[in-house]
């Protein structure tokens, strides 16, 4: 079982920006195959978390391999916490990898 935990702070100061994904659940697709899921807990738009879980079939997109990643909304999972999401994903895909991105924005309207 691989677990990858990354936490980072994004300082966005040049132009207004928003969370990359709205709160909810999403499916990650690559080459027409489901390769992961994303969970974004509800929170404010200045401080937010995105939990990305990739299955063993995911390949990091590069210029050489020309792979792309498509994210679509999911309505089937229904998780109410990050912990339950990660536990369920690891149970279903023990060889998967998860990344937690914690972001803080510094734009007008954010403390």
Whether pLDDT at 9 is above 70: no
The answer to whether the CB of 98 falls within 8 A of the CB of 90 is yes
Residue 74 pLDDT: 86
Residue 58 pLDDT: 95
Whether pLDDT at 4 is above 90: no
Write out pLDDT tens, residues 46-83: 888 999 999 999 999 999 999 999 999 987 767 889 99
Rounded to two decimals, what is the model's pTM?
Answer: 0.76
**Ranges assigned E (strand) in 1-111:** 24-30, 33-40, 47-54, 70-74, 97-104
């Amino acid at each position: 079982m691989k677990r990858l935990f990354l936490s980072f702070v994004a300082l966005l100061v040049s132009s207004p920006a928003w969370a990359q994904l709205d709160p909810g659940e999403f499916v990650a697709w690559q080459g027409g195959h489901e390769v992961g899921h994303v969970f974004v807990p509800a929170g404010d738009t200045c401080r937010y978390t995105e939990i990305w879980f990739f299955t063993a079939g995911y390949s990091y997109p590069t210029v050489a391999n020309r792979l792309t990643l498509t994210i679509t909304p999911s309505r089937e999972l229904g998780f109410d916490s990050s912990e339950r999401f990660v536990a369920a994903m690891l149970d279903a895909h023990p060889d998967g990898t998860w990344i937690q991105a914690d972001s803080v924005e510094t734009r007008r309207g954010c403390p």
